[in-house]
Amino acid sequence: MSGSNEMFVQIAVQLALPVGAFLLVLGFGLVLRAMLFKRLIRWAQHTKHNLDDIIISSIKVPFVIWFVMLGIYIALQFPKLPENMVHIAGKVLLVLGLFSITLVLANIASGVITHYSGKLGAVMPGASLTQTISRIIIFTIGILVILNALGISITPMLATLGVGGLAVALALQDTLSNLFAGFHIMMNRIVRVGDYIKLESGEEGYVIDINWRTTKVRMLANNTILIPNSKLTQTNVTNYYLPDKDLAVLVNLGVHYNSDLKKVEQVTCEVGKEVMREVAGGFPEFDPFIRYNTFGDSSIGFTVILRGKEYVDQYLIKHEFIKRLHQRYTKEGIVIPYPIRAVNYTQEGNKEK
């Protein structure tokens, strides 16, 4: 028993200095990381481009890994460490080094996609699907490089993946269908993040994300709809942001048969111009116009054509236009009749005789 205790004490003494050195280096790295990145973030805020912000954000986690590697390397410099432990530590250093490089590349790719997709908009569709796929590709390559560096042959693994891929594809038909449908949506720019769309089933709202399985749509009521990508490509979708955001705002009205139609047109267009100039979302340079279209049961029907900068602007434009037009019609003596039905008693009486 005493011999085993002495051996344990001896091993503990041998490991004390290397472990202490490792912990000291790691602690120094954490302190340096906090101080260094605080200064780097301040510096990046004063630059015009965002690439430095992306790089700084991408190396935050790998920076700790690098000091873990440095701590292991310094610990290995102490003599009398077991040979098997030195061998394992060397392999760990190799894996950590390759993994940290892979992590940096994945973070930079994700950051660049996020930045430039928002900047280029319609030219480069941005969504979590693009970021996910880029990360998967980079991490897959990184894992293969790590396995190859460890002396593990990846050729049988690739062959196994090829055979197993067919079975996985059959088992995940719906998932793969949604994945490729998401690519189709993004590459053809049928629907883009930020667009306002309306489905054939009636749901409508802003597209907030397109991921590997679903498209997320936020309704005006602040609810979120999750639409499978494959279903989105199979249904009729109205995109109110294509080809442009601005749209015609149509208001259907009717005036009494005794009305002076020229005066009605003049007054209505004047109110429309006022709304276009003063209401948020209106086009100040657009000249509203009307088109008479119906001899109705109780009125002469017509449509007022206004213009809004985007889909949701039509609600405020219609609200202000109807309110101001009603006030102006009252002032000008223009009558919007109630729905009425006239009965010809003379004609009906002749029929009875």
Phi-psi bin for 333: left (phi > 0), alpha (psi -120 to 50), beta?
left
Convert the pLDDT of each residue in 275-302 to its tens digit. 999 999 999 999 999 999 999 888 999 9
Query: What pLDDT score does 125 carry?
Result: 47
pLDDT of residue 122 exceeding 60, the answer is no
pLDDT of residue 85 exceeding 50, the answer is yes
How big, in percent rounded to 5, are the helix, strand and coil portions of the chain?
A: 60, 15, 25
Report the run of H or E that residue 295 belongs to, with start and end.
Answer: strand 289-295
Query: What pLDDT score does 168 carry?
Result: 55
Query: What pLDDT score does 123 carry?
Result: 40
Give the whole-angstrom CA distance, residue 205 versus residue 219.
4
Return the amino acid letter for 145: V
Query: What pLDDT score does 116 carry?
Result: 65
Asked if 97 and 180 touch (Cβ cutoff 8 Å), the reply is no
**What's the pLDDT band for 304 if we cut at 50, 70, 90?**
very high
- For the chain, domains (ranges, CATH) are 2-171 (no CATH), 190-239 (2.30.30.60), 247-332 (3.30.70.100)
Query: What pLDDT score does 124 carry?
Result: 44
pLDDT of residue 175 exceeding 80, the answer is no
pLDDT of residue 206 exceeding 80, the answer is yes
Query: What pLDDT score does 7 carry?
Result: 56
pTM (two decimals) = 0.56
Task: Calculate mean pLDDT across residues 345-349.
Answer: 56
Instruction: Give the least confident one: 172-181, 258-267, 292-301, 334-343.
Output: 172-181
Phi-psi bin for 332: left (phi > 0), alpha (psi -120 to 50), beta?
alpha
Query: What pLDDT score does 143 carry?
Result: 83
**What's the pLDDT band for 99 if we cut at 50, 70, 90?**
confident
**What's the pLDDT band for 133 if we cut at 50, 70, 90?**
confident
Return the amino acid letter for 93: L
Q: Which residue has the higher pLDDT, 199 or 125?
A: 199
The length of the chain in residues reads: 353
